[in-house]
Structure 1
Amino acid sequence: MTTGSVSPRRADTRRNHERILIAAADSLVRSDELSFNAIAKQAEVGVGTVYRHFPTPEALILAVYRREVAHLVDVVPALLEQYTPEQAFRTWTTDHLAHYMMTKRGLANALRTTAVSPGELPAKAFEAMVGAISSLLQANADAGTVRPDLDPETVLRGLGGLFYLDPASDWRGQAAALADLLWQGMRGPGTCHCS
C-alpha cells in the first residue's frame, strides 16, 4: 500500500457509516424512534455494524443531527458556484433546508432522550444555519436580487414554516411556495426581478 492511500477496509467503513446515517435520517423523517434493525436493513449492513458505529441510539441521534446541520452549511458554497444566487437560495431552501426540517421533527423528539444539555445543540445549529443563510443573502444582495438590509435571523425564522411540511404530501411544492412568498418580501425597490 502506498503512503496516502486509503485501505479498502477503511473506505468500506466510511461508506457504511454514511449509509447508516442516511438511513437513520430517513427514518427520523417518519418517526422519532430508531430501530437499529430497520436502519441496518435500509443501509444494507448487518445490525452489528450499526452497533459498532453507534453503540447507543443516543450516539446515532447525535451523529444524525450533526451531519444534517453540517450538510446545510457545507452545501452553500457548492450551490453558489453551480447556480445563480437566487437559484442557490431556492435550491438550499427546497432541497436541503426542507429535508432538514422534516428530519428535525423526529430529531427534536429523539434528542429529548439524549444526555446532551438542553439547548446546546439547537443553539449551535441555529448559529450554523444563520451563517449559511448569511452567505446566500450576501450573494443575492451583491447580485441585486434582494434588499441589502435583510437580517439573516429574520429570514431563517420566516423559513421556519418548513418544519410543518408533511413528508407524505407534496412537500417540495409547499417548500417552493413558501420560498416564493418569502422571496417576494426579500426583494425591494430597485432589486433585480429576474429569475
Structure 2
Amino acid sequence: MNDSGQQAAGAAGPKRKDARRNQRILLEAAASVFVASGVEAPVRDIAARAGVGVGTIYRHFPTRADLIVAVYRHQVDACAEAGPALLASHESPYEALAQWIDRFVDFLVTKHGLAGALQSDNAGFDALHAYFLDRLVPVCGQLLDAAADRGEIRPGFGGLELMRGVGNLCIGADSDPRYDARRMVALLIAGLRRT
C-alpha cells in the first residue's frame, strides 16, 4: 500500500469511530426521550437532547420506525454487553447475576413502549424479538452457569426460563405505580440461592 493509501485508511478509521460515537449519542438521546415522553415524542426533542439538528436524525433514521428499531437494538446490545463485564468485575457470580437482572428489569420496564410500538409490524417485531432472545438468553445462561459452578445457586436453571419469569413479574409495572416489579424480581433472584 502506498503512503496515500495508508493515509486514506488511517483517516477512515477515526471517521468511522466518530460516526459510531455520534450514532450512539443519538440513540441514547432517543432512548431517554422515549422513556420520558413515549415513542411519539417530537423528533426535535430528541435532536435537542443529542445536541444535533433534526436533519441529522433523519439522515441516520429516515423513519420513526427506523429510529425505534435502532434504539431497541442498541438497548439490547448494551444489556448483553453488561453481562460479561459484570461477571469479570465481581468476585461473586451471583452478585453479577443479580446486577444484570436489575439492568434487565430496567430494560423491560422502560422499553415496553418501544416493543408495543413495533408490534403493529409483526414481521419486524418477530425479527426484533428473535434478536432480543439471541443476544440476551446466552448472557443470562452464562451468568447462571457461573453462579451454579461456584455453588452460589442451585443448578438446573436456564437463561430463557429465568428471563421469562422476570418478564412476567414486570408486566404492568409501567402502568401501575403501586406495583414494585423490582421488589418481586429481587425475591425471585433470592430464591435461586443455595440454602
**Paired position in structure 1 for 2:31:** 25
Once the two structures are superposed, residues 3-62 of structure 1 have per-residue CA deviations (whole angstroms, 9 ceiling, x without a partner) of 546666544432221111011112222413242111001111111111111111111111
Identity percentage of aligned residues: 36
- Output aligned runs, 1:117-128, within 5 Å: 117-128=124-135
The alignment covers a number of residue pairs equal to: 186
**Paired position in structure 1 for 2:71:** 64
Once the two structures are superposed, residues 72-110 of structure 1 have per-residue CA deviations (whole angstroms, 9 ceiling, x without a partner) of 21221111011121221111122x212211232111122
Once the two structures are superposed, residues 114-140 of structure 1 have per-residue CA deviations (whole angstroms, 9 ceiling, x without a partner) of 574442221331232211110110110
TM score, norm. by length of structure 1 = 0.81
Distance 2:58 2:65 in 1: 12
**Paired position in structure 1 for 2:155:** 148
More contact order relative to length (CA 8 Å, sep ≥ 6): 1
Task: Give the CA RMSD over aligned residues.
Answer: 2.8
Distance 1:50 1:186 in 2: 44
Distance 1:91 1:124 in 2: 22
Gaps in structure 1 of 5+ consecutive residues: 190-195
**Paired position in structure 2 for 1:49:** 56
- Output aligned runs, 1:2-41, within 5 Å: 4=10, 9-30=15-36, 31-41=38-48
Answer with 1 or 2: which has the greater Rg: 2
**Paired position in structure 2 for 1:193:** none
Residue 178 of structure 1 aligns to a residue in which SS? helix
TM score, norm. by length of structure 2 = 0.81
Distance 1:86 1:142 in 2: 10
